[in-house]
């Protein structure tokens, strides 16, 4: 892969030496398929090198990922604060996957920051904040899982990709590329996928496990959202959905249940920007998706304390839902020309 910012040569020498290290892998809060896929794959690989490896997620993650190999070993920071702090204290290395700013891992961020461990960032989001000692990064990769595949290849260990590791990497690449359709999907992505299938990834099973896991209630909620809640802001070629706390409670919405909703708006002909605003308990969470040149990353960064990729980003607001919506529409009006 081209253009990877990579200073991991000495790190790899250490990992391949005969010393056994204490290693933590962590990923962003509310981890998605790529976050869990890349983390569980690296977890499986580093354990083969006889290191002591722990995977710590800041929060829980969607149940449609619970089938993944290694799921039972995941330690959730929110539920095991004391233990995670002790582990961070004795860690030699902390791998930070699929994020590039410590604010993406909530309270665990300050724990990681204070740890004496060397930090390795493997990520494909724009504008890293720079907390890392080692970096394997490019925003041109489809996913962090593709980068982990490349990293294992760089280590000369493609032969260590077991069917379990292949399944994890396949899941991450599949989910972050929208099943191989988004712009970041390259010939390199497809070559990696082909190799993963050769190594035992069960591609058809994975699509079923991840995408055919709806409950009847979730499908009904989706119907409600599309029928009752989808607004088209014609002047800005923008689709907007917001969900109140009352609506979340009414449909018993759990982690991951709103995943993918934001994409429906973008499937409307002519729509350039799709936005989902959800009134979560602690803050209002926003998801942005775009087509073409409109930069969701910059929009999220400049106005909603967020970031991500050019065509997919997220942000948040500590205002009320109503305030957030009116602030959003006010800000949007400044982008009329870009959204034409
Ligand atoms: P989603 O809308 O699915 O939550 O996130 C879309 C993309 O933006 C993901 O790659 C995610 O990691 C990133 N992202 C989501 N929320 C935030 C945020 O609050 N801050 C930053 N920096 N990135 C985010
Ligand atoms: Mn990702």
Residues of the chain with pLDDT under 70: 2
Strand order in the sheet with 312-317: 231-233, 238-243, 273-279, 284-290, 312-317, 307-308
Same domain assignment for residues 221 and 203: no
Mutate to test the pocket of ligand 1, among 313, 315, 316, 324 (most ligand atoms within 8 A of CB): 313
CA distances from 167 to 64, 68, 100, 201, 318 (A): 14, 8, 24, 5, 38
Same domain assignment for residues 224 and 207: no
Same domain assignment for residues 195 and 69: yes
Please give the Cα distance from 286 to 292 (Å, whole number).
Answer: 20
Same domain assignment for residues 157 and 266: no
Ligand 1 center from residue 288 Cα (angstroms): 9
| Domain CATH number, residue 321 | 3.10.310.30
Closest ligand 1 atom to the C-alpha of 301? 22
Closest ligand 1 atom to the C-alpha of 176? 10
* pLDDT reported for residue 3: 82
Ligand 2 center from residue 98 Cα (angstroms): 5
User: pTM of the full predicted structure?
Assistant: 0.95
Same domain assignment for residues 227 and 131: no
Q: Which residue has the tokens 């002591």?
A: 52
| Residue 207 CB burial class (10 angstroms; 0-12, 13-18, ≥19) | middle
Partners of 25 in the β-ladder: 55, 95
CA distances from 69 to 42, 194, 330 (A): 12, 20, 45
Same domain assignment for residues 107 and 206: yes
CA distances from 223 to 23, 64, 230 (A): 44, 20, 10
Same domain assignment for residues 56 and 167: yes
| Domain CATH number, residue 99 | 3.90.1640.10
| Ligand 1: residue whose CA is nearest its atom 6 | 313
Using DSSP bridges, classify how beta strands 307-308 and 273-279 pair: parallel, antiparallel or unpaired.
unpaired
Ligand 1 center from residue 156 Cα (angstroms): 32
Same domain assignment for residues 173 and 257: no
List of residues 6+ apart from 138 with CB closer than 8 A: 1, 2, 3, 4, 5, 124, 147
**Of 176, 211, 246, which residue is a domain's last?**
211
Please give the Cα distance from 14 to 93 (Å, whole number).
Answer: 11
Task: Say if ligand 1 is within 6 A of residue 316 CB.
Answer: yes
Helices (H), the chain: 9-16, 33-48, 81-90, 108-114, 144-154, 163-176, 187-198, 203-211, 216-224, 245-250, 261-266, 296-303, 321-332
- The domain in which residue 98 lies consists of 5-211
* pLDDT reported for residue 74: 98
Phi-psi region of 45 (alpha: psi -120 to 50; beta: other; left: phi over 0): alpha
Closest ligand 1 atom to the C-alpha of 316? 19
Ligand 1 center from residue 81 Cα (angstroms): 24
Contact 275, 240 (CB under 8 A): yes
* pLDDT reported for residue 253: 86
Task: Say if ligand 1 is within 6 A of residue 123 CB.
Answer: no
Task: State the total domains in the chain.
Answer: 2
- Quote the tokens at residue 102: 């410590």
Task: Say if ligand 1 is within 6 A of residue 28 CB.
Answer: yes
* pLDDT reported for residue 305: 97
* pLDDT reported for residue 255: 75
**Of 169, 195, 211, which residue is a domain's last?**
211
Same domain assignment for residues 65 and 161: yes
Ligand 2 center from residue 145 Cα (angstroms): 7
Q: Which residue has the tokens 């060397």?
A: 118
**Of 182, 211, 240, which residue is a domain's last?**
211
Mind spelling out the 3-state secondary structure of 8-58?
CHHHHHHHHCCCCCEEEEEECCCCCHHHHHHHHHHHHHHHHCCCEEEEEEC
Contact 143, 176 (CB under 8 A): yes
Same domain assignment for residues 193 and 291: no
- CA torsion angle 114 118 122 127 (round to 10): 50
Ligand 1 center from residue 286 Cα (angstroms): 9
């Amino acid at each position: 892969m081209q253009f990877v910012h990579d200073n991991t040569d000495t790190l790899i020498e250490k990992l391949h030496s005969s010393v056994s290290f204490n290693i933590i892998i962590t990923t962003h809060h509310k981890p998605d398929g790529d976050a869990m896929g890349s983390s569980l794959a690296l977890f499986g690989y580093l354990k083969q090198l006889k290191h002591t490896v722990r995977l710590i997620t800041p929060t829980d993650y969607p149940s449609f990922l619970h089938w993944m190999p290694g799921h039972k070993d995941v330690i959730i920071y929110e539920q095991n604060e004391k233990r995670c702090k002790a582990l961070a204290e004795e860690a030699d290395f902390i791998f930070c996957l699929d994020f590039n700013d410590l604010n993406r891992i909530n309270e665990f961020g300050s724990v990681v920051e204070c740890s004496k461990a060397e930090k390795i960032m493997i990520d494909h989001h724009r504008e890293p904040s720079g907390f890392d000692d080692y970096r394997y990064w490019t925003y041109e990769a489809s996913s962090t899982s593709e980068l982990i595949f490349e990293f294992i290849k760089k280590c000369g260990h493609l032969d260590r990709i077991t069917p379990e590791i292949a399944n994890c990497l396949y899941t991450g690449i599949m989910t972050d590329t929208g099943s191989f359709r988004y712009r970041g999907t390259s010939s390199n992505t497809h070559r990696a996928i082909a190799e993963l299938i050769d190594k035992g990834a069960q591609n058809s099973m994975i699509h079923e496990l991840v995408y055919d896991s709806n409950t009847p209630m979730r499908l009904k909620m989706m119907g409600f959202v599309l029928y009752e809640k989808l607004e088209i802001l014609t002047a800005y070629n923008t689709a907007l959905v917001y969900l109140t706390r009352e609506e979340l409670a009414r449909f018993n919405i759990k982690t991951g249940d709103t995943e993918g909703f934001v994409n429906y708006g973008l499937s409307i002909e002519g729509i350039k920007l799709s936005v989902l605003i959800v009134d979560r308990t602690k803050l209002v969470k926003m998801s942005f998706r775009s087509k073409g040149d409109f930069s969701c990353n910059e929009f999220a960064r400049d106005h909603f304390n967020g970031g991500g990729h050019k065509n997919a980003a997220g942000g948040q607001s500590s205002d009320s839902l109503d305030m957030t919506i009116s602030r959003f529409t006010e800000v949007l009006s400044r982008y009329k020309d870009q959204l034409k």
